[in-house]
A and B are shown apart, each in its own frame.
Chain A
Amino acid sequence: MNEPIIELRGLTKKYGALTAVDNLDLSIQKGEIFGLLGPNGAGKSTTILMMLGLTEPASGSAKICGIDATRNPVEVKRKVGYLPDDIGFYDHRTGLENLLYTAQLNRIPLHEAKEKAQRLFQRIGLQGSENKKTGTYSRGMRQRLGLADVLIKNPEIIILDEPTLGIDPAGVREFLDLIVKLSREEKITVLLSSHHLHQVQKVCDRVGIFVGGKLLAEGDIASLSEKLFNKGAFTIEAGIAAAEGAEKLETALRQMDGVRSVSLQDNRLQINCLRDITVDIAGVIVASGYGLMHLSRKEYGLDDIYNRYFEGDKAYVETV
């Protein structure tokens, strides 16, 4: 692959004794939608601020489009559009005026900026509201205006910090669809930070899981779940009709080749195995005469990955 458009090397930021971002390495390719996933206070926003040169890292470097963000923040900011998590506009100005101001700060001539702003208002679905003061906008409208505000400077990269916070579900879907569409059509690289895993799962090509200032894992969802759960482990769930005397079945299953552990709870069996031996297990259960109700191989979504990382199982995380 060619040169990554965002390259972070050993990026570290300390606030006193607290290490907000700890030796972060990350590279993102052009045109990618990357999701930075982590709980609140994981250091996502700090990382973004360092990428824009708004905060100085304690050590390490952030290169955006080959430009050092710490040394030359103005050049970086020319290429990057940043949507902060709680975007503010000048409330006593109209939406159009707010956009034109941003455009002018990017040295776009006024007549060109006006045309562009009109087109963007169409695009984000706010046509008709451009001459209303932004103080009257709803949260969702502000967020969409924020997207227009980011796009008016023709960025190569857009960075969205918690872009879906406080929008209703339908609004979120629309907003994310818009981002994906834009990224695909105009070949814009998108970095999206969020703690909403479902949203990230839907739109991102790749995600990085970021906890306590460290990037614990990165990759697409499939490879992440493989990395985490399929380390020689398949989980198969089976439901049986009668639970009495099922201990016999349990021992029978346990003796099968490739099975690591079996647990029985009420009418449900959970079988951990090294290989995919679903078919054999089905055969054994049917032959035992306990009556197979259902059999399924467990698939892992981002949800499970997330839980694995964030909520408990710290020891597991450390081994990964």
Chain B
Amino acid sequence: MWKPSETSAPHPFQVMVYKEMSDHVRSWRFKILLLLILLTCMSAIYISVTNFSAAIKAEDPDGSFFFLKLFTISDKTLPPFHIFIGLLGPLLGISLGFDAVNSEQNAGTMSRIMAQPIHRDYIINSKFVAALGLISVLFFALGFLVMGLGLIFIGIPPTPGEFIRVIFFILLNILYVAFWLNLSILFSVRFRQAATSALASIAVWLFFVIFYPIIINLVAKGLIPAGEASPLQMVHYQELILNLQRIAPSQLFSDATVTLLMPSVRSLGILTMEQVYGAIPAPLPVTQSLLLIWPQLTGLVAATVLCFALSYFSFMRKEIRSR
């Protein structure tokens, strides 16, 4: 798609991506979200820096990872950085995608653009690529900003391991927002009214964040094994509940971030006494942490790809008429 053009004019796809990006950057919506994210970022850094000395404890297995603490410390009044992002990320994704297709259709620009010598999928691809590019730039900028400020305040440079973890954490954030972006693009193809598609995306988000845990709670209460259940039954039960929780993308995201930012996390499931027997409470190397969250990453990627495939499919089958 990005191969150099044979003429002096840029490839139409490139032109479209530039246009989409500049549309986003110029829009008030993006400016407001940017402000919101910057504010939470600043407050998270402020809290983690002011509580830094209190958070470092000798017996803490994560104690030597000063730098990662920047992203996870809080004083209980405000959530730490990674939870903030987990909360605002979906909002960012939804706001960049919910009117991607239907606004063009309603403005009558779709049929005009489709009459130009471009392939039909350029429209949806360019919207996705532009929004994803913007999110990537934003998150890398934010991540490095936090790192840079942290460097100034605490004066300890990150170790290579920590640096790699932060990079993966940023990539994970991008992936997570990309999922919500694709979901909202899907709704923007399905629903003609931008308000409907925004509401639908927000409904899905709220469902997973608020209602889904409640439902899981109810299910868990109903399924709880009777009093004299064997340990094996208890283990199966716990695993079932955990797996049910992991249907929610937000759970996958928080599992993955916690593992990445807290190297002492050794398992996301249940460990029996035999398994931890003789284990030294030491942090995992980066590769092991990654291995641990591999299923979560795969799940998130799959959900993202599925949403994109669905929206691509329904967009390609859609008949484009003027308004």
Footprint of B on A, CB under 8 Å? 45, 49, 52, 54-55, 74-75, 77-78, 80-82, 84-92, 101-102, 104-110, 146, 149, 153, 161
Residues of B within 8 Å of A84, CB to CB, are 108, 111-112, 115, 322
Of B8-16, B54-62, B183-191, the stretch lying at the interface with chain A is B8-16
Given the interface contacts A105-B12, A105-B117, A109-B7, does A86 sit within 8 Å of B108 by beta carbon? yes
Residues of B within 8 Å of A88, CB to CB, are 107-112, 322-323
| A55 to B120 CA separation, bound complex (whole angstroms) | 11
Residues of A within 8 Å of B8, CB to CB, are 109
Does the CB pair B323–A101 fall under 8 Å?
Answer: no
Does the CB pair A81–B112 fall under 8 Å?
Answer: no
Q: What are 12 A-B contacts with C-beta separation under 8 Å? A: A45-B322, A75-B117, A78-B117, A84-B111, A88-B112, A89-B112, A90-B107, A91-B107, A102-B112, A105-B116, A106-B116, A107-B5
Residues of A within 8 Å of B11, CB to CB, are 107
Residues of A within 8 Å of B320, CB to CB, are 49, 54
Does the CB pair B321–A105 fall under 8 Å?
Answer: no
Does the CB pair A108–B117 fall under 8 Å?
Answer: no
| A210 to B220 CA separation, bound complex (whole angstroms) | 66
Indicate which residue in B108, B111, B118, B319 contacts A105 across the interface (CB closer than 8 Å): B118
Residues of B within 8 Å of A149, CB to CB, are 112
Residues of A within 8 Å of B107, CB to CB, are 88-91
Does the CB pair B322–A87 fall under 8 Å?
Answer: yes
| A19 to B86 CA separation, bound complex (whole angstroms) | 51
Q: How far is the CB of A92 from chain B (nearest CB, A)?
A: 7
Does the CB pair A49–B321 fall under 8 Å?
Answer: yes
Residues of A within 8 Å of B199, CB to CB, are none
Does the CB pair A74–B119 fall under 8 Å?
Answer: yes
Does the CB pair B322–A110 fall under 8 Å?
Answer: no
| A54 to B219 CA separation, bound complex (whole angstroms) | 49
| A92 to B11 CA separation, bound complex (whole angstroms) | 24
**In B87-136, which residues have CB < 8 Å from any A CB?**
107-119
- Specify the chain B residue showing the minimal Cβ separation from A81: B115
- Residues 186-211 of chain B, each 1 if its beta carbon lies under 8 Å from chain A, else 0: 00000000000000000000000000
Q: Tell me if B26 is interfacial: C-beta within 8 Å of chain A.
A: yes
**Count of CB-CB pairs between chains A and B under 8 Å:** 88
| A67 to B101 CA separation, bound complex (whole angstroms) | 29
| A105 to B120 CA separation, bound complex (whole angstroms) | 13
Does the CB pair A110–B112 fall under 8 Å?
Answer: no
Interface of B is mostly: loop
| A102 to B16 CA separation, bound complex (whole angstroms) | 10
Does the CB pair A92–B26 fall under 8 Å?
Answer: yes
- Specify the chain B residue showing the minimal Cβ separation from A113: B9
Residues of B within 8 Å of A104, CB to CB, are 9-10, 12, 15
Q: How far is the CB of A56 from chain B (nearest CB, A)?
A: 9
Q: Tell me if B236 is interfacial: C-beta within 8 Å of chain A.
A: no
**In B264-316, which residues have CB < 8 Å from any A CB?**
none
Does the CB pair B109–A54 fall under 8 Å?
Answer: no
- Specify the chain B residue showing the minimal Cβ separation from A107: B9
Given the interface contacts A77-B117, A80-B115, does A86 sit within 8 Å of B15 by beta carbon? no
Indicate which residue in A45, A55, A78, A90 contacts B109 across the interface (CB closer than 8 Å): A90
| A14 to B113 CA separation, bound complex (whole angstroms) | 25
Indicate which residue in A54, A82, A89, A101 contacts B19 across the interface (CB closer than 8 Å): A101
Indicate which residue in A54, A78, A105, A107 contacts B7 across the interface (CB closer than 8 Å): A107
Residues of A within 8 Å of B109, CB to CB, are 88-90
Q: How far is the CB of B201 from chain A (nearest CB, A)?
A: 23
| A82 to B322 CA separation, bound complex (whole angstroms) | 11
Indicate which residue in A45, A54, A78 contacts B114 across the interface (CB closer than 8 Å): A54
Residues of B within 8 Å of A77, CB to CB, are 115-118
Residues of B within 8 Å of A81, CB to CB, are 115
**In B1-30, which residues have CB < 8 Å from any A CB?**
5, 7-12, 15-16, 19, 23, 26
Residues of B within 8 Å of A101, CB to CB, are 15, 19
**In B145-188, which residues have CB < 8 Å from any A CB?**
none
Residues of A within 8 Å of B323, CB to CB, are 86, 88
| A75 to B15 CA separation, bound complex (whole angstroms) | 19
Given the interface contacts A105-B16, A161-B322, does A52 sit within 8 Å of B115 by beta carbon? yes
Known contacts A87-B112, A88-B108, then 18 further A-B pairs from the complex at CB < 8 Å, ordered by chain A residue: A54-B114, A54-B115, A74-B117, A77-B117, A84-B111, A84-B115, A84-B322, A85-B322, A88-B107, A88-B109, A88-B112, A88-B322, A92-B23, A102-B112, A104-B10, A104-B12, A105-B16, A109-B7
| A55 to B316 CA separation, bound complex (whole angstroms) | 11
| A197 to B321 CA separation, bound complex (whole angstroms) | 24
Residues of B within 8 Å of A75, CB to CB, are 117
